[in-house]
Chains A and B, each alone.
Chain A
């Protein structure tokens, strides 16, 4: 009887959301991971387990290794010791495996990194055509759908250079979402934006969080962390110092360095 019920549940969920992953399933697992830049030990003994659908905010002083950590997850940076599993696949030198992982993991950069020689629509449909091998018209339909979701379908034919910073970052989010990723990485997505544009980007990210996407966000937007995060991770000097749910993290920080950091960023 339980067997049957389980089966039934699985099939219905499959029908509704083809990519739905059970909540408790581990989607990223990092164990005893170290990384060096030359002789500089930038990440030290990182252990992290992230469940599907979890929203993680990573904060810490600059140079603490938080960007490097999330860049290791899609192997923009190579780790030298330890293991990283993404969706059950270990990251190794195998190029095919890396490309597969990258097509399942979306990334949004601080500097947007849109392709300036392509229109907004081409930016979004490019990977669908060349990585997913979809026909151009289908790729553009999908791209338009996601541009609507980030509320800029009317800019589809413009070039990135003609958009404001906030609009560019929303296009960058749409570009990643087009690939229907299982995980989204955000590397300080609002740090390069003028203050009045930060909100429009955060709104898009909050909406995305509500859809159940697994998100890792490096940011200093503590309001965003409180509203969205399941867990806040504090890093310093290449180590994970402390992690907790946002309420306890902000109200009852345990570690001295966490307290110092919070007092500094919350002071102004």
Chain B
């Protein structure tokens, strides 16, 4: 039967299935084929020995480096994770007293709950979750430092992953609101407010974080009344927060510039006040545009926490370096640095994935 209308036909076999995909994506042209072969060759060369070194031949039970190497077929031929296992407590808790470590554990659990409450919107009873998240820093501060019935623990005992999380989480959660306020201030019509914000942002962005940390550890005393003891960790927290707030401010300002003036006018025309218009209309859109930049800054901040080693605080990297000087274990640098790298990678990769998920969820276009 002859028909003018053409029926929809299934695509040719070369377009579908695994073979179709392979042809289209990996072997579509000569250069693509060469690239594919070279990449596969590289992975074959790299992965099996790495897998053997890190997993198959690795030693998990030993009391010293010598015992570790004695257990291997080839000395130094595989990873000695026994070292990390032996020092895991130090890596996680720093020098926090052994019998009080449950307080850190409890804080970790509370942190996970708080993060979940903030980041996952569909949670039933999220209002209470958010209230808990707001109370969380105070609860944790009390748990970790003590007082009011708990044994007091000096902050110079803090270290390791716990220290990284304290600095990272504090920096991230306080720098976002401060950064937003700075960005709005920089776009304000009031010249004094505007120049204050510009000066602050430009000063902080123009000085390396290490310099700021040195200022925190040495110079702040000049500005405080003599005899004041201002906790070193507290100073670091303030400096890291301000540092990242300046960057967030510029990222958010970029987002604000992406909002068409029509949005401001429509909000004004409805009679919304400055604060309501920004809270309801402008910021939700500006922050959505800024998500990649904000998360980028957060990841940077999180990794920059390793710089506190310079002023004598021991984060996982610092703990790792210190452990390497132990004569019983010396010489196992690869294991230590790989372990620290994996820890940071997991945290940062999680942030990156969350931001992608959030962008997708907030998209209102088809």
Assembled-state Cα–Cα distance A167/B271 (Å): 23
> B362: which A residues are within 8 A, CB to CB?
117
Most chain B C-beta atoms within 10 Å of own C-beta, residue among A126, A130, A162:
A130
Interface on A for B, CB 8 Å cutoff?
Answer: 74, 76, 95, 99-100, 102-103, 105-107, 109, 111, 113-117, 126-127, 130-131, 159-162, 175-176, 179
Inter-chain contact A116/B364, CB cutoff 8 Å: yes
Interface of B, helix, strand, loop or mixed by DSSP: helix
A sample of 12 inter-chain contacts (CB < 8 A) reads: A76-B269, A103-B270, A107-B265, A109-B266, A111-B260, A113-B265, A127-B270, A130-B280, A131-B271, A162-B364, A162-B365, A175-B270
Given contacts A113-B265, A117-B285, contact A159 B365 (CB under 8 A): yes
Question: Which of the four size classes fits the interface of chain B?
Answer: 20 to 34
> B260: which A residues are within 8 A, CB to CB?
111, 113
The residue of chain A having its C-beta at the shortest distance from the C-beta of B281 within the complex is: A115
- In the complex, whether B3 has a CB less than 8 A from a CB of chain A is no
> A159: which B residues are within 8 A, CB to CB?
364-365
Assembled-state Cα–Cα distance A175/B266 (Å): 10
> B303: which A residues are within 8 A, CB to CB?
none
- In the complex, whether B156 has a CB less than 8 A from a CB of chain A is no
A102: contacting residue among B262, B268, B285, CB under 8 A? B268
Interface on B for A, CB 8 Å cutoff?
Answer: 260, 262-263, 265-273, 276, 280-281, 284-285, 288, 362, 364-366
Inter-chain contact A109/B265, CB cutoff 8 Å: yes
> B364: which A residues are within 8 A, CB to CB?
116-117, 159-162
> A99: which B residues are within 8 A, CB to CB?
271-273
Assembled-state Cα–Cα distance A76/B271 (Å): 11
Given contacts A130-B280, A161-B364, A162-B365, contact A113 B271 (CB under 8 A): no
Apart from A130-B280, A131-B270, 6 more pairs, CB < 8 Å = A102-B270, A102-B271, A107-B266, A109-B265, A113-B266, A162-B364
B80 CB, min distance to chain A CBs, angstroms: 53
B271 CB, min distance to chain A CBs, angstroms: 3
Inter-chain contact A179/B262, CB cutoff 8 Å: no
Given contacts A109-B265, A115-B263, A117-B288, contact A162 B270 (CB under 8 A): no
> B284: which A residues are within 8 A, CB to CB?
117
Inter-chain contact A109/B262, CB cutoff 8 Å: yes
Assembled-state Cα–Cα distance A74/B267 (Å): 12
Assembled-state Cα–Cα distance A113/B269 (Å): 11
The residue of chain B having its C-beta at the shortest distance from the C-beta of A159 within the complex is: B364
B262 CB, min distance to chain A CBs, angstroms: 4
Assembled-state Cα–Cα distance A74/B272 (Å): 13
Assembled-state Cα–Cα distance A130/B272 (Å): 7
Inter-chain contact A130/B366, CB cutoff 8 Å: no
> A176: which B residues are within 8 A, CB to CB?
269-270
Assembled-state Cα–Cα distance A76/B272 (Å): 13
> B288: which A residues are within 8 A, CB to CB?
117
Given contacts A116-B364, A117-B288, A117-B364, contact A131 B272 (CB under 8 A): yes
The residue of chain A having its C-beta at the shortest distance from the C-beta of B288 within the complex is: A117
Inter-chain contact A107/B272, CB cutoff 8 Å: no
> A127: which B residues are within 8 A, CB to CB?
270-272
Inter-chain contact B270/A179, CB cutoff 8 Å: yes
B259 CB, min distance to chain A CBs, angstroms: 10
Inter-chain contact A102/B266, CB cutoff 8 Å: no
Assembled-state Cα–Cα distance A102/B273 (Å): 10
Inter-chain contact A111/B270, CB cutoff 8 Å: no
Most chain B C-beta atoms within 10 Å of own C-beta, residue among A113, A114, A175:
A113
> A131: which B residues are within 8 A, CB to CB?
270-272, 276
Assembled-state Cα–Cα distance A232/B292 (Å): 51
A173 CB, min distance to chain B CBs, angstroms: 13
Given contacts A117-B288, A126-B280, A162-B366, contact A74 B269 (CB under 8 A): yes
> A161: which B residues are within 8 A, CB to CB?
364-366
> A117: which B residues are within 8 A, CB to CB?
284-285, 288, 362, 364
